[in-house]
A and B are shown apart, each in its own frame.
Chain A
C-alpha cells in the first residue's frame, strides 16, 4: 500500500471505532459520566468537606485529576478490549485480515479509537467537574501529553487482553481484578504521603500512580513522584506494549489457526 492508501485505511479503522462507541453512547459515554458525578458528590463534596485540604488544595480539587485519569484509563482499556473481542467473536476481524492493511494499521486503528473514547469520556468528566470546582491548567502541554499517552497505553493493553481472550469473561477479569485495584491504589483519592513507609514503597511499583500524579502535576502543580520519570516510564510502557501487541498480531495469536 502506498502512503495515501495507508492513511485511508487507518482513517477508516479509526472512524469505524469511533462510530461504534458513538452508536452505543448510552453504554459507553453516559455510565462513566454518571459514576464520576457520584464520586464528585459523595467523595468530593460530602466526605471531602470533612477531609479538608490535601497538599494545601481542597479535597474536591485534589481528586479531580485522579478521577479524570481513572475515566480515561478504564474507558480506553475497555473500549479496545470489547471492540476487538467483539470483532473476533463475530469474525468481522476477518474483514481486516483478508485486506492488504498491515497489522500496524489494524493495531493503530483500534488504539486510536480506544484513546478517542478514553479522552472523550475524560473531557465529559472534566466538564462535569466544573459544576463542583474550578481549576486551571498548571502545565497545559504536560497535562495533554500525559493524558494522551495514558489513553494510548491502556488502549494497547486492552488490545492485548482481547487478543488473548477466548470468551467474554476474559475481557472483564483484568479490568476488575487488576485495573480497578491499581487505579484505586494509584493515588486517585489520596496522597501516598498518608501511607505508612512500607505501603509507600509498595505503592511506588504501581504504574498508575505515576500517571495519576503526572496528570495531577499538570493540572494542580503538585505530585508525589518525579514527573519526568513518570513521563519516561509511560513512554517506555507504550513502546513495550505496542511491540508486544504487534508481535502477537503478526504471529496471528488468538486470531489465526
Chain B
C-alpha cells in the first residue's frame, strides 16, 4: 500500500506561553488526494501546516511526508513539499521572475532546468506579462498566483495551500480552482487546502478534516460528511408579502421579512410537500436558495461551542462570502 502523502501521529504543540495549540492530533492525507483542513481561527490549522513545512517546531508527535519522517530527514521530505502560505512572504522589491528562479535555486535546480519550468508557470498562471516587474506592483490576486508558481517550481508531490484565495475576486478564484483541479488531476499532485470559503472546500476537495481547539473533530470524505446533514435550510422569496406566518405540516418555517421565509427541511422530507402546502395557502414562491452552504451548516454545528469564536459566516449565501482571517 502506498505511503500517505502526509501522515501525522500524536502531533502536539505547546507554545512558550503555555497555550496548547495541538493536542496530539492524528491525520492521514492520501497520495493524489485533494484534502480540506478546516477550522475556525486559532483552531490549529496553521500550526499543523507550519510544523509540516518546518516553520513551527513541534512539541511532540510524528510527521511523515511520503513516508519520510521529518525528524530523520527533513531535507529529503521538503523536496516533496510546496507551500503557499496565508500571508505574502516574498520580497516585494524583487522581480516576479527572480522570486521564482531564486526559489528553484534553493532546491538546487540549475538555471537550465528552472527557466523553462518558470516560463511555463508564469504563462499558466497569467503572470507572463508581469515577469520583469517588481512583485510589489502586482495586484493581490497576482501575488497569490505568484506564490503558487513559486511553490510549484520544483514539482512538489504535495502542495499545501493555506487560504490561497483569500481576498481574491470570484472570477479569479474560479480560475485558480480550475488550475488546482488540473494539477491535482493531471500531475497527481496531492493538495491540502485550508480555507474559510466552505463552498471552495465542497467544490474542490474529496476528503476533509475539521480541527477545533487543537483536536480533529471530524475526518472523513466530503460525501460522507454531507450525508450527516440532518436539516437543510432554504430561503424562499415570495411573490407577495405575508401578514402572518403560514403553518406547514412537517416543516419548520420562520419569517425573515414580509416577503421572505426560512424553510427548514429534514433529511428524507420531500420539498414537494412544502410547496403543495404553500400553494394551498395561496402563497406563491418566486425563487429559493440555500440559507447557508451545506458544509457550512455542518461546520458551524461541529465547531460552535458556547465560548468558541468561529468566524465562518453563516449568513445567507450561495456565492462565496469572504470572512476575516
Contact = CB atoms under 8 A, between A and B. Distances in A.
A95 interface: yes
B258 to A, nearest CB: 51
A4 B90 CA distance: 25
A1 B81 CA distance: 15
Given A19-B98, A98-B54, A98-B78, A91 B105 contact: no
B89 A256 contact: no
A9 B92 contact: no
Given A90-B89, A95-B89, A98-B81, A8 B105 contact: yes
Interface in B72-93: 74-76, 78-79, 81, 83, 85, 87-93
B226 interface: no
Given A90-B92, A91-B87, A99 B106 contact: yes
Interface string A59-96: 00000000000000000000000000011001110111
A1 B74 CA distance: 11
A99 B76 CA distance: 10
B56 A99 contact: no
A95 B150 contact: yes
A1 B91 contact: no
B109 interface: yes
A101 interface: yes
Nearest to B79: A100
Interface string A19-35: 11001000000000000
Contacts of B103: 95, 99
A101 B106 contact: yes
Given A12-B106, A90-B89, A95-B90, A100 B78 contact: yes
A102 B75 contact: yes
A6, A12, A96, A100 pick with most chain B CB within 10 angstroms: A100
B107 interface: yes
Contacts of A87: 91
B89 A92 contact: yes
B110 interface: yes
Given A19-B98, A257-B57, A98 B108 contact: no
B56, B81, B105 pick with most chain A CB within 10 angstroms: B105
A87 B15 CA distance: 23
A1 B150 contact: no
Interface in A1-56: 1-2, 4-6, 8-9, 11-13, 15-16, 19-20, 23
Contacts, number: 88
Given A95-B90, A256-B55, A256-B56, A9 B85 contact: no
Nearest to A3: B108
Nearest to A257: B56
A94 B49 CA distance: 13
B62 interface: no
Contacts of B248: none
Contacts of B274: none
Contacts of A97: 53-55
A9 B56 contact: no
A221 interface: no
A6 B93 contact: no
A77 B79 CA distance: 33
Interface in B231-280: none
Interface in A198-257: 252, 256-257
B90 A8 contact: no
A87 B89 CA distance: 9
B219 interface: no
Given A12-B105, A12-B106, A16-B102, A256 B91 contact: no
Contacts of A101: 75, 106
B128 to A, nearest CB: 21
B55 A100 contact: no
Contact of B89 (A1, A9, A16, A94): A94
A147 B188 CA distance: 52
B304 to A, nearest CB: 28
Contact of A94 (B79, B85, B93): B85
Contacts of A100: 74-76, 78-79, 106-108
Interface string B89-118: 111110000100011111111100000000
A2 B110 CA distance: 13
A130 B153 CA distance: 48
B55, B88, B103, B108 pick with most chain A CB within 10 angstroms: B108
B91 A90 contact: yes
Contacts of B110: 8
Contacts of A11: 105
A242 to B, nearest CB: 20
A157 B23 CA distance: 39
A8 B109 contact: yes
Contacts of A5: 107-108
A9 to B, nearest CB: 5
6 contacts: A5-B107, A23-B93, A92-B89, A98-B81, A100-B106, A256-B57
Given A9-B106, A91-B85, A98-B83, 16 more contacts: A2-B108, A4-B108, A5-B107, A5-B108, A12-B104, A16-B105, A23-B93, A90-B89, A92-B91, A94-B85, A95-B103, A97-B54, A98-B54, A102-B75, A256-B54, A257-B57
Task: Return the 3 tightest CB-CB contacts between A and B, nearest first.
Answer: A5-B108, A12-B105, A99-B106
